[in-house]
Amino acid sequence: MKDKVLLIGGSGNLGSALKKSKLFKKIDSPKKDNLNLLNESSVKKFLNKKYSIIINCAAMARMTECEKKPNKAFQANVIGTLNLVKAINKYKKNIRLIHISSDAVYPSTNGNYSEKSILKPYNFYGWTKLCSELIVKKLKNYVVIRTRFFNKNNIRFDTAATDIFTSMIEVKDLAKEIRKISLKNFIGVVNIGNKKKSDFDNYKKYSKKIKPCLRKDITKHLSFKIAKDASMNLSLLKKLKNK
């Protein structure tokens, strides 16, 4: 059935935004009890249905949790992706997979990273996302989306750094970009985001209570590295929009 979508990881911020957006007319989003990427038989069951696109948002994405529970993060982000890709290659090779990755695969020190930039994740979460990308590239029909997003209605921070820079995009806008990319014939990796801004500048528009801080104020409480400048070059995205 044309444009019938299987959404994996529909309970998270991005998955919820995709469902609420109504951008895809026919979208199924099974609960984890029914479709668990760590259970190969449940993956096979859904691949036997008539989907043309899979959007994989399933991930363990909180960096602190990934550092504290690396085995769980590896299972969720790497083994789950491996099971999905193996099943696609075995049962439904032509299905289109849109896989959500992260700007955390870049070194995130100097910014302006293009899809061809050197990949050097700076923490365990980033390494798991890079591993998942390499697995997805074994498919014939795929898009890997490198991004960082936030939900303007769910900003949990009291402070945000004025000296951490990203190309962060609001989750509803990301959902729109995913719909657009699903309609293209493009196969490969693409950065999706907005122009470079500090975390504070991104959040202050939506949260009146948020106060500025510095990166060092955040890192002193962490046992792992975070980005300095993870901003991305969006030239390829612009080209795709103009096609």
The 10s digit of each residue's pLDDT in 197-215 is: 999 999 999 999 999 999 9
Question: Per-residue confidence at 1, pLDDT binned at 50, 70, 90?
Answer: very low
pLDDT at residue 66, rounded to an integer:
96
pLDDT at residue 48, rounded to an integer:
83
Report in angstroms the alpha-carbon separations of 126 from 4, 140, 189, 226. Answer: 31, 24, 16, 10
Write down how long the chain is: 243
Q: What is the C-alpha separation between 112 and 166, in angstroms, rounded? A: 9
Q: What are phi and psi of 160, to 5 degrees?
A: -150, 145
Regarding pTM above 0.85, the answer is yes
Residue 169 tokens read as 């995009």
pLDDT at residue 40, rounded to an integer:
86
pLDDT tens string 22-58: 999 899 999 988 999 999 888 998 988 889 999 999 9
Q: Domain 4-153+167-194: which CATH class?
A: alpha beta
Q: Spell 116-129 as b/e; 16+ CB within 10 A means b.
A: eeebebbbbbbbbb
Q: What are phi and psi of 156, to 5 degrees?
A: -90, 0
Residue 191 tokens read as 């950065």
